Each structure stands twice: as structure tokens, then as C-alpha cells.
Amino acid sequence: MITSNGERVCLDERRHAVVLAGPFVRALGIAAVGIGCMAVGWPASIAGVALQAVGAIIVLRAVWSWERTRVVITTEKLFIVHGTLHRRAAAVRLARLGAVEIEQSLTGRLLGYGTIVAGELEIEYVPEPRRVYGLVERLSA
């Protein structure tokens, strides 16, 4: 993330952990089928081990992606940064920012996450979106 000289980071957070729910459920389903195959015995146990490995890979990939995706607000910009080897960032300048919107489903309100829409940038699963919205509004004023 490239920042100018006087720019400082005001917020640096991961997206809400609810993004892990889907991959965890898929991995659990695949692993359950794998356990069932192992219970049948040879030669289905080979497929069972492979299915459990696939489930583990799905979980590891999801957690890695979640860990490497950050929502960053500086005194000048709002970023979404993601990637490991190939790091990508999408940003909007707060000075040029028009309307900022929060979108929250019922589940999002209950669990404390939402989508922030700031100009052309849409960031999903932002934890505590009202706090982020307030920070963006203060910094853009």
C-alpha cells in the first residue's frame, strides 16, 4: 500500500469472519462424505482420504484469503487490499468522495457486518460498518 508523506493509517481491519462460513460448511460436507467413504473400507477409503484433503485445502485457502484481505482507511484514501504474492489494492480518495452508503441485511445487522459503497468502490463484509462510515465521513469533510 502506497501512502504519501503526511498520510497516516486510521483503520486497518480484516473483513468480518462471516466470510469463512460458506467455505467451512462446504469443507465440512466434503469431509463428512470422505469419512463415510472411509467407513465403507477398502478401496473407498482412498477416496475418503482424498475428500478429507480437499476439505482441508478449501478451509486453508479461505482462511488464507481472509487473513490477506484488509480494509484500510488513511487520512486521504479508503482501500481494499488483497493478495499475497500479487498484492492488489482498490482505492478511492476521500476528498473526491461523494455519497457513502451502508447496506446491511438482517443477518448483517445481527452479526455486525455490512457493505460499504463509496463512489465506485464496494467493500463487502465490513465489520462494524457504521463506525467505518462515521470515520470516512469525518475524514472526507
Query: Residues 9, 74: contact at Cβ < 8 Å?
Result: yes
pLDDT tens for each residue of 81-119: 998 888 899 999 988 888 899 999 999 999 999 999 998
Q: What is the CA radius of gyration of the chain?
A: 20
Is 78 in the same domain as 57?
A: no
Q: Would you say residue 3 lies in a domain?
A: no
Q: Which carries the bigger pLDDT value, residue 96 or residue 73?
A: 73
pLDDT tens for each residue of 41-62: 889 999 999 999 999 999 999 9
Q: Would you say residue 1 lies in a domain?
A: no
Specify the residue for cell string 482505492: 91
Residue-level pLDDT at 67: 95
Is 46 in the same domain as 103?
A: no
Q: Would you say residue 128 lies in a domain?
A: yes
Is 59 in the same domain as 84?
A: no
Query: Residues 30, 101: contact at Cβ < 8 Å?
Result: no
Residue-level pLDDT at 66: 96
Q: Would you say residue 4 lies in a domain?
A: no
Instruction: Report the share of the chain in percent with pLDDT over 70.
Output: 97
Q: How many domains in the chain? A: 2
Domain that includes residue 36, residue range: 20-65
Separation in Å, CA 74 to CA 43, 66, 93, 127, 130? 56, 21, 9, 17, 17
| Chosen domain end from 65, 85, 101 | 65
Is 96 in the same domain as 45?
A: no
Question: Do β-strands 88-93 and 100-103 pair in parallel, antiparallel, or remain unpaired?
Answer: unpaired
Q: Would you say residue 2 lies in a domain?
A: no
